[in-house]
Each structure stands twice: as structure tokens, then as C-alpha cells.
Structure 1
Amino acid sequence: MRRTFLKSMLLGGVGASPLAAALLGAQSVQAAETLKFMVPSNPGGGWDTTARALGKSLQEAGLYSAVTYENKGGASGTLGLAQFLNASKGDPNALMMMGAVMLGGIISSRSPFSVTQATPVARLTSEYNVFVVPAESPIKSMKDLVDQLRKDPGSVKWGGGIKGSTEHVAAAMIARFLGLGADKINYIPFKGGGEATAAILGNNVTVGGSGYSEFQQYIESGKMRAIGITADKRQPGINVPTLKEQGVDVVIGNWRGVYAAPGVTPAQREALTQAVIKATQTPSWKEALQKNSWTPALLTGKAFDDFVTQDFASLRAIMVKSGMLG
């Protein structure tokens, strides 16, 4: 996509709007044909799905002619983060998918790398974790799971994302609620949603946790049974009881967002921010929200910066209280 075509497309007949001005800055990110997306997890999970949905929407909005994706899973998401920080310095055509899971991974792994070294762009979605069991499991409810935990904590194999992920933290919070130490949780981390799903369907774990969107097709087809969601109240369109209403006072949310490379200029950050905002207004993004049961939670600028700082501190406090950082 050539710059002259983009300029006429963005400004055609409407004048130089703030969005157009941002997108057509001196070193506008939209002057490039290709956006490079770092996904710091294996294919098939929530980050991967969200990154590809956003990339599609950026193309639909006419902002990029091509989007490439690089999956780099491992080490609680910090392998991908490290590669992004080192390889993309100053690149205004690079984005990285991240979220609460990455913050937890950084805390639990005591990584020398941090999202504070990259450039915040936007929070995109929020959702809560759902715990599921295989359809043939004798566990029918969260009460059944809690009863088994009390009798023999080690017999419950929890399957989910990387160590420090929100489902891992939720499992530790449930243990703490029951008076058990985090060391009693038999948690099996997987690098991607596809691996976790296969383990659940193959009866290799007792219970699995992740965002509802990752398990939705299996819940609806009857291959998995959802026994609880970590929300404070029932979620629209999701017929799953909360942990709270089943007597387990645990609430924890998840969210996903995007960061730009370290060293981009304020103008380049603003251009990327406006590009993401424009992408979230496309039909394909709205379709992705509905299809995956994601709650839109767009947040940009200083508000997003402050949110990440506060969520990082809150997550660390929860992990300390739950005995995960001992």
C-alpha cells in the first residue's frame, strides 16, 4: 500500500482529522506495508487468537496491506518479550500481544525483562477464567472439586497456561481460601491453549482453566463441562456459575492488550494507538468479540499506563498472599 494512496484514503473529502494527522505523521507507521506481530506464546491460545483478530482488523481498516505473526512461547512468555525488546527497538511497525498473564509470568519467573521496557499502546479485551473438566469426569461442580481438594490436594491435576497465568493464580487463591498452601497445588503449565485443551480432552488433567473463548466450542459440543467462572457475577451469554455463588470467594479477571517496541517516538506511539482504535471499530473486530465472548475493554494513553502499573502491583500482592512467591 503506497503512502500517496493511504493519504488520499484517510483524508478523502473529510479534511485532516486528528486520526488522519496521527496516522500520517512524519514517520507514520502506516507508511509501511507490513506490520510485525510478536505473539509470546504457542499457536492456538488466547494471545494468538487475539493478535490475529487485531491484525485482520488493522488490514480491514486499510492501515496495513500485510501482517506477519511470530509465535515465541516459553519461559512464562518472557522469551517472546525478550526477543521483542532486543529485535524491535525503535521499530514503529511492530506490536506485541500481552496481558495479565505476562505480568504474572514476569513476577513468578523473576524475569530480568519487563513490559516497562516496551511502549504501552492499548488494552483491548477483558474476560474471566473458566474452569472445565472432561465430559466424562465424575466432578460435576466446583463443590465436587473442592471436596476432592480437601481430601487429597495432590490428586487434583490443574492444567492451564504458564506459571503465573491468571488460571494458575486462581488455583492458588482457591487453595488459600481452603486453608491450603500454594505448594499443595499440583499445577501443570502448558505453553499454549492447544496443549492445555488436548490435555483436558485426553483426561490427562483433572481440571483445566483458561478464558471462556478457548473452551467455548468444546463446552457447547458437550466435550467439556464448565464448573465455574472467576467473575464476581454471571456473565452475559455465558451460562456458567461463578465460584462465589458456589461458596468459593475467589474473583480474578484477565485482560489482553498490545505494546509497541521500545524507543518509538511519542508521535509513533500515538499513530499506533489511533490505528488500534480504528481497528476496533471494524466489523471484523466486532465479530471477533462476539464469536469469542470477549468483553471490549479499550483503554489507551495514560489511563492504560496507570492500569498496568496498578494491576502489576495487585497481582504481585495476590501471589504473595497465596504463597506463590515463597
Structure 2
Amino acid sequence: MKRFILGTLIASIMVLPAFATDYRIMAPAAPGGGWDQTARAMQTALQDENISDSVQVVNVPGAGGTIGLAQFANQAQGDPSQLIVGGYVMVGAILTNNSPVTLEQVTPIARLTGEYEVIVVPASSDIQDMAGLIEKLKADPGAVSWGGGSAGGTDHITAGLVAKAVGVDPTKINYIAFSGGGEALAAILGGQVTAGISGYGEFESQIKAGQLRLLGISSDEPIEGIDAPTFKEAGVDVSIQNWRMVAAAPGITDEEKAAITADIEKMVNSESWQQILADKGWANTYLAGEAFQAQLQKDIESTEAILKEIGLVQ
């Protein structure tokens, strides 16, 4: 009888569900932008799929994510419940801000999404297409102001590459950096800048509402559901894709890193996440493990080369 009771107890313990990790995800930018959207999309998917019982999102804006990155690296040491969103923009910001804290000070987990850049103007603008924008840019580069995300980020790089592709000195562009997508959008809608540049998802609602005019997209081929020519189709030989990633705290164990990676993989493969990607127009560029580490290093090197080419890094 005692053996039966003991066996029953052991069996009941074995079928108890494992306790899900409570996560705290830092979006190192103001609300409204791509990192904030990514962190909140993760929050939704992790909770909806019961991968995590509780997910908190915190915003720490400034300097292309490097302020948040520094805070994360210093305060999250050894804590497997802490995550931070980053990506292409952060790689550029680390270089342009000469940040003492880099992605080497955290634990990269996976690349999550990719998103192409678009250029928009207010619906009231006299610029009707990419040709009109380029005409103004060639006539007086400084008179065309570009509103986008942090200095040295994907938006800034894209503006520089567009200028270079049409024969304009990229160091002469008038780029106005905003710390969050909400601030940039308000400036674009208010006519405070000539054109706006960011991921399609950040402008989608205003484009569909007729408040913004979409001039072009940075993909190699037209994107289904997005009514705009590619930059190349508009005569500007530029293609570029922003990407976003998630990293864990420094100083965690290999077992903790493996557990976090497993949770992220479950999230990426979930129906909730796939629906979010479709709704946001984000590409699934999931890459983890050693393959991601190798690709990240290549991206850092290529970004540095581009930033030097357009005069943002010496």
C-alpha cells in the first residue's frame, strides 16, 4: 500500500506543468516605434500561448537604444527573466555614438523579424512620387528634411544610400532623428519635415487613411498588399531590410540561455506570432544559435562599412 501511494505521488508530481518564466522585456526606445511594437508583440504571443505567465514591457528611450542597452547590461546581470529588443538600428547607433557598451555585453538569442523601409510624405505635399522627391534633393539637399529614427539607424542609412545612389553627397542630407516612432510620425503629419522614412508598419494606418502618401519601398521586388514601387523601379538603386532581434542578460548560464531560446522558438512557431507577422507586414527572419551569432558579426562589419561610406562614422 505504501509503495502504491508513493508511486501515485511520484506520478502526480511528474505530470504537474512546469512553471513558466515571467519575463521583463526592455524596448530601448519611446512607445510607438518598431522596437516597442516588437516587445509588445512578444508580450502578446508569449502570454497567449502560455509560454510565460506574465510579461512586462518597459521603455527606456534615447541614443538609438544605447542608453537602454547600457542600463540593461549593468542592471540585468545574471537574471534570466530579463530580455531586450534590438536590431539593425542599434548596431548603427553603437558605432555612431561610439558607445562603450556593445552587443558583446549581452547575450544575443535570436533574430526575429525583417521589415523593408518606406518613404512617405504628407498627403498635402506637392511631392507626388520618388522622382519628385529626388528632383528636390538634387536641387538643394539641405532643403529636403528627412524625419526618421535614431541617428545612424536604418532610416538614416537608407536616406544616405538614396542620396548616394542619385549622385548627391550623402553627408549633405538634412536628417532629423527622433527617439520614437510616435514622435517621428507627429512631425511628418505636421509637415515639420519634407519626408518620413521608416518601416511600413509604422505608417500603415496613416497611409490607408489617406493622411500619408507612400512613395516607395526598399525591397528588391514589389510586396503583395503594399501599393508602391520599389526604390529600384523608381530609378533609385537601393535595397535594404531592417531586422530586429532579442537578447538576454549578460552572465546567464548555458542552461538558462537554452531555456530562453526554447521559449522564443516556441513563440516564433506559434499561431499567435504568425498572425502578428501577417498583421504587421513583418517578414519571419528567425535565426538562432551559432548561425545567428555569425550573421550578427557580419552585419556589424557591413554596417560599419556603410556608415563610413555615407560619412556617419570616420
TM range (shorter): over 0.9
Check conservation: 2:171, 2:310, Cα contact below 8 A: no
The number of residues matched between the two structures is 304
Relative to the length of structure 1, the TM-score reads 0.90
**Higher Rg:** 2
Mapped partners of 2:57, 2:14: distance in 1? 26
Which residue is equivalent to 1:60? 48
Which residue is equivalent to 1:324? 312
Which of residues 130, 144, 164 is equivalent to 2:132?
Answer: 144
Which residue is equivalent to 1:98? 86
Which of residues 258, 262, 273 is equivalent to 1:274?
Answer: 262
**Structure 1 pair 227–86 and aligned structure 2 pair: CA distance change class (3 A):** same
Offset of 1:116 from its aligned partner? Answer: 1.3
**Structure 1 pair 178–85 and aligned structure 2 pair: CA distance change class (3 A):** same
1:128 matches 2:124: no
Structure-to-structure mapping, 1:40-59, within 5 angstroms = 40-59=28-47
Offset of 1:280 from its aligned partner? Answer: 1.8
Which of residues 239, 249, 255 is equivalent to 1:261?
Answer: 249
Offset of 1:65 from its aligned partner? Answer: 1.4
Per mean C-alpha deviation after superposition, the further-off stretch among 195-204 and 54-63 is: 54-63
Mapped partners of 2:251, 2:23: distance in 1? 17
Query: What is the aligned-residue RMSD (CA, Å)?
Result: 1.7
Offset of 1:7 from its aligned partner? Answer: 7.2
Unaligned runs of at least 5 residues, structure 1: 11-23, 25-29
SS at match of 1:188: strand
Which residue is equivalent to 2:146? 158
Offset of 1:277 from its aligned partner? Answer: 0.9
Structure-to-structure mapping, 1:1-326, within 5 angstroms = 8=15, 32=21, 34-326=22-314
Check conservation: 1:182, 1:324, Cα contact below 8 A: no
Mapped partners of 1:301, 1:68: distance in 2? 25
Mapped partners of 1:221, 1:78: distance in 2? 34
Mapped partners of 1:101, 1:205: distance in 2? 21
Check conservation: 2:20, 2:53, Cα contact below 8 A: no
Unaligned runs of at least 5 residues, structure 2: 1-11
Equivalent residue letter for 1:202: G
Mapped partners of 1:6, 1:318: distance in 2? 56
Task: Give me the identity figure in percent.
Answer: 45
Mapped partners of 1:325, 1:179: distance in 2? 20
SS at match of 2:64: helix
Offset of 1:6 from its aligned partner? Answer: 11
Equivalent residue letter for 1:82: A
Check conservation: 1:57, 1:279, Cα contact below 8 A: yes
Offset of 1:130 from its aligned partner? Answer: 0.6
Relative to the length of structure 2, the TM-score reads 0.93
**Structure 1 pair 54–6 and aligned structure 2 pair: CA distance change class (3 A):** farther
Offset of 1:282 from its aligned partner? Answer: 2.5
